[in-house]
Amino acid sequence: MKHMLRDKLARHLDFLREDDKMIRKEGVETLSAPDLHEACEARGISTYDQTDDHLRLLLLQSIRLNLLVDPRPIPPVMVYTTRIFLLNSKVRM
């Protein structure tokens, strides 16, 4: 069970990385509103009560972090799980 979850998460992160490359190449401004919302939700970005312009900014930030070229890259799991803590801190306010 543990390995299945890890493999599923790895596949999802691989999918997001490839999707990020495609979105970066085509530009976040080319995404339709439904595609923008779907892309944000897949990355753990809350779309509730957000303008499309703000979502585009958040998505672009997420893509930049995920595709960061660095000798010590940020592990993808950390990039996406950070959203959980940010979301929880906003909910408690």
CA distance 28 to 35: 10
pTM of the model: 0.76
Structural domain range at position 10: 2-92
CA distance 71 to 56: 27
pLDDT in the model for residue 83? 63
pLDDT in tens, the chain (93 residues): 778 888 888 898 889 999 999 999 999 999 999 999 999 999 888 899 999 999 999 999 889 888 876 656 667 677 667 666 665 545 443
Q: How many independent structural domains does the chain possess?
A: 1
Residue the block writes with tokens 């595709």: 67
Give pLDDT, residue 71. Answer: 58
